[in-house]
Structure 1
Amino acid sequence: MNVPVLSNKNSGLSEILNNDNTILVDSGNLEHYCVELNRFLKCQNVEQVERQVDNAREFVEKNFNYDAVMKKYNNIYDKYVKLTEEKKWGY
Protein backbone atom coordinates (compact mmCIF):
# COMPACT_ATOMS: atom_id res chain seq x y z
CA MET A 1 0.00 0.00 0.00
CA ASN A 2 1.42 3.37 -0.97
CA VAL A 3 0.47 6.26 1.31
CA PRO A 4 2.13 9.51 2.40
CA VAL A 5 4.51 9.00 5.31
CA LEU A 6 3.48 10.41 8.66
CA SER A 7 6.03 9.89 11.38
CA ASN A 8 7.29 11.17 14.69
CA LYS A 9 10.81 12.38 15.24
CA ASN A 10 12.53 11.71 18.56
CA SER A 11 11.91 15.34 19.44
CA GLY A 12 8.17 14.68 19.51
CA LEU A 13 7.38 16.55 16.29
CA SER A 14 5.06 15.00 13.74
CA GLU A 15 6.12 15.40 10.15
CA ILE A 16 4.65 14.99 6.70
CA LEU A 17 7.43 13.91 4.36
CA ASN A 18 7.25 15.47 0.92
CA ASN A 19 9.55 14.76 -2.00
CA ASP A 20 12.46 17.03 -1.16
CA ASN A 21 11.25 18.79 1.95
CA THR A 22 9.55 18.01 5.22
CA ILE A 23 6.60 19.85 6.72
CA LEU A 24 7.11 19.80 10.48
CA VAL A 25 4.04 20.13 12.66
CA ASP A 26 4.02 20.16 16.45
CA SER A 27 2.44 16.88 17.53
CA GLY A 28 0.25 18.75 20.02
CA ASN A 29 -1.31 20.90 17.29
CA LEU A 30 -3.69 18.52 15.52
CA GLU A 31 -5.48 21.34 13.70
CA HIS A 32 -2.26 22.49 11.99
CA TYR A 33 -1.46 18.86 11.23
CA CYS A 34 -4.88 18.42 9.55
CA VAL A 35 -4.40 21.58 7.46
CA GLU A 36 -1.03 20.36 6.17
CA LEU A 37 -2.30 16.83 5.54
CA ASN A 38 -5.32 18.13 3.60
CA ARG A 39 -3.07 20.40 1.53
CA PHE A 40 -0.87 17.41 0.71
CA LEU A 41 -3.84 15.16 -0.17
CA LYS A 42 -5.41 17.80 -2.47
CA CYS A 43 -2.31 18.08 -4.67
CA GLN A 44 -3.37 17.95 -8.35
CA ASN A 45 0.07 17.12 -9.77
CA VAL A 46 -0.18 13.33 -10.26
CA GLU A 47 3.52 12.92 -11.04
CA GLN A 48 4.48 14.80 -7.87
CA VAL A 49 2.07 12.76 -5.74
CA GLU A 50 3.35 9.47 -7.17
CA ARG A 51 6.96 10.50 -6.54
CA GLN A 52 6.15 11.54 -2.97
CA VAL A 53 4.27 8.32 -2.29
CA ASP A 54 7.08 6.19 -3.73
CA ASN A 55 9.62 8.02 -1.59
CA ALA A 56 7.38 7.59 1.44
CA ARG A 57 7.06 3.85 0.86
CA GLU A 58 10.84 3.51 0.52
CA PHE A 59 11.32 5.49 3.76
CA VAL A 60 8.89 3.25 5.66
CA GLU A 61 10.36 0.02 4.29
CA LYS A 62 13.85 1.08 5.36
CA ASN A 63 12.95 2.46 8.78
CA PHE A 64 9.87 0.73 10.25
CA ASN A 65 8.29 -2.66 10.76
CA TYR A 66 4.66 -3.23 9.72
CA ASP A 67 3.20 -3.48 13.25
CA ALA A 68 4.73 -0.19 14.39
CA VAL A 69 3.66 1.64 11.24
CA MET A 70 0.05 0.44 11.24
CA LYS A 71 -0.46 1.26 14.91
CA LYS A 72 0.91 4.76 14.34
CA TYR A 73 -1.22 5.31 11.21
CA ASN A 74 -4.36 4.08 12.94
CA ASN A 75 -3.83 6.42 15.89
CA ILE A 76 -3.10 9.42 13.66
CA TYR A 77 -6.04 8.84 11.33
CA ASP A 78 -8.45 8.18 14.21
CA LYS A 79 -7.52 11.60 15.63
CA TYR A 80 -7.66 13.21 12.17
CA VAL A 81 -11.11 11.79 11.40
CA LYS A 82 -12.44 12.83 14.81
CA LEU A 83 -11.19 16.40 14.38
CA THR A 84 -12.54 16.56 10.81
CA GLU A 85 -15.97 15.36 11.96
CA GLU A 86 -16.00 17.84 14.83
CA LYS A 87 -15.29 20.70 12.41
CA LYS A 88 -17.88 19.43 9.93
CA TRP A 89 -20.67 19.07 12.48
CA GLY A 90 -19.60 21.90 14.80
CA TYR A 91 -19.19 19.90 18.02
Structure 2
Amino acid sequence: MKQIVAVVKPYLTQAVLDNLRRAPLEGLSITEVKGFGRQKNYLDQYQDREYAEAFLPKVEITMWVDDLRVEEVVQKVVAAARSGRMGDGKIFVMPVTSFF
Protein backbone atom coordinates (compact mmCIF):
# COMPACT_ATOMS: atom_id res chain seq x y z
CA MET A 1 0.00 0.00 0.00
CA LYS A 2 1.21 3.49 -0.87
CA GLN A 3 0.04 6.97 0.05
CA ILE A 4 0.03 9.50 -2.79
CA VAL A 5 -0.16 13.18 -1.87
CA ALA A 6 -0.81 15.59 -4.73
CA VAL A 7 -0.67 19.32 -4.08
CA VAL A 8 -2.40 21.16 -6.93
CA LYS A 9 -3.82 24.56 -7.81
CA PRO A 10 -7.37 25.00 -6.46
CA TYR A 11 -8.99 25.51 -9.86
CA LEU A 12 -7.57 22.16 -11.07
CA THR A 13 -9.07 20.14 -8.22
CA GLN A 14 -12.25 19.17 -10.05
CA ALA A 15 -10.32 18.11 -13.17
CA VAL A 16 -8.07 15.87 -11.05
CA LEU A 17 -11.07 14.36 -9.26
CA ASP A 18 -12.83 13.74 -12.59
CA ASN A 19 -9.72 11.88 -13.84
CA LEU A 20 -9.64 9.81 -10.64
CA ARG A 21 -13.33 8.88 -10.79
CA ARG A 22 -12.64 5.31 -11.97
CA ALA A 23 -9.15 4.99 -10.50
CA PRO A 24 -8.44 2.03 -8.21
CA LEU A 25 -8.28 3.98 -4.91
CA GLU A 26 -8.55 2.51 -1.42
CA GLY A 27 -9.29 5.95 0.03
CA LEU A 28 -9.11 9.68 -0.72
CA SER A 29 -9.19 12.93 1.25
CA ILE A 30 -8.99 16.59 0.23
CA THR A 31 -7.61 19.48 2.27
CA GLU A 32 -7.23 23.18 1.49
CA VAL A 33 -3.64 24.21 2.26
CA LYS A 34 -1.29 27.15 1.72
CA GLY A 35 2.38 27.03 0.87
CA PHE A 36 5.04 27.85 -1.68
CA GLY A 37 7.57 26.06 -3.84
CA ARG A 38 10.15 27.42 -6.25
CA GLN A 39 8.04 30.46 -7.10
CA LYS A 40 8.39 31.55 -3.42
CA ASN A 41 5.60 34.14 -3.50
CA TYR A 42 3.78 36.46 -5.83
CA LEU A 43 2.76 40.09 -6.02
CA ASP A 44 -0.91 40.93 -6.13
CA GLN A 45 -2.78 44.16 -6.47
CA TYR A 46 -5.68 45.18 -4.26
CA GLN A 47 -7.25 48.63 -4.35
CA ASP A 48 -4.32 50.10 -6.32
CA ARG A 49 -1.73 48.77 -3.84
CA GLU A 50 0.73 45.97 -4.42
CA TYR A 51 1.34 43.45 -1.71
CA ALA A 52 3.23 40.16 -1.49
CA GLU A 53 1.56 36.88 -0.61
CA ALA A 54 4.05 34.56 1.06
CA PHE A 55 1.80 31.49 0.90
CA LEU A 56 -0.25 30.52 -2.14
CA PRO A 57 -3.56 28.67 -1.84
CA LYS A 58 -3.37 25.02 -2.91
CA VAL A 59 -5.42 21.85 -2.52
CA GLU A 60 -3.87 18.69 -1.10
CA ILE A 61 -5.38 15.44 -2.41
CA THR A 62 -4.29 12.42 -0.40
CA MET A 63 -4.92 8.95 -1.83
CA TRP A 64 -4.22 5.43 -0.66
CA VAL A 65 -3.48 2.99 -3.46
CA ASP A 66 -2.39 -0.63 -3.90
CA ASP A 67 1.33 -0.89 -4.77
CA LEU A 68 0.62 -2.25 -8.25
CA ARG A 69 -1.63 0.68 -9.23
CA VAL A 70 0.52 3.63 -8.07
CA GLU A 71 1.89 4.54 -11.50
CA GLU A 72 -1.60 4.49 -13.03
CA VAL A 73 -2.99 6.87 -10.39
CA VAL A 74 0.01 9.23 -10.60
CA GLN A 75 -0.39 9.44 -14.39
CA LYS A 76 -4.08 10.34 -13.99
CA VAL A 77 -3.18 13.19 -11.61
CA VAL A 78 -0.40 14.46 -13.86
CA ALA A 79 -2.65 14.37 -16.94
CA ALA A 80 -5.21 16.61 -15.22
CA ALA A 81 -2.94 18.98 -13.27
CA ARG A 82 0.15 19.63 -15.39
CA SER A 83 0.26 22.82 -17.42
CA GLY A 84 4.04 22.93 -17.75
CA ARG A 85 4.33 26.18 -15.83
CA MET A 86 5.98 26.76 -12.48
CA GLY A 87 3.58 26.30 -9.55
CA ASP A 88 1.63 23.36 -10.98
CA GLY A 89 2.16 21.46 -7.74
CA LYS A 90 3.91 18.41 -6.36
CA ILE A 91 3.23 14.69 -6.07
CA PHE A 92 4.67 12.60 -3.25
CA VAL A 93 4.51 8.80 -3.02
CA MET A 94 5.14 7.25 0.40
CA PRO A 95 4.87 3.72 1.79
CA VAL A 96 2.05 2.93 4.21
CA THR A 97 3.11 0.67 7.06
CA SER A 98 -0.42 -0.17 8.19
CA PHE A 99 -3.91 0.41 6.83
CA PHE A 100 -6.96 -0.40 8.95
TM-score range, shorter chain: 0.3 to 0.5
Larger Rg computed on CA atoms? 2
Relative contact order, higher structure (CA 8 A, sep 6+): 2
Relative to its length, the structure with more strand (as a share) is 2
TM-score when normalising by structure 1: 0.35
TM-score when normalising by structure 2: 0.33
Relative to its length, the structure with more helix (as a share) is 1
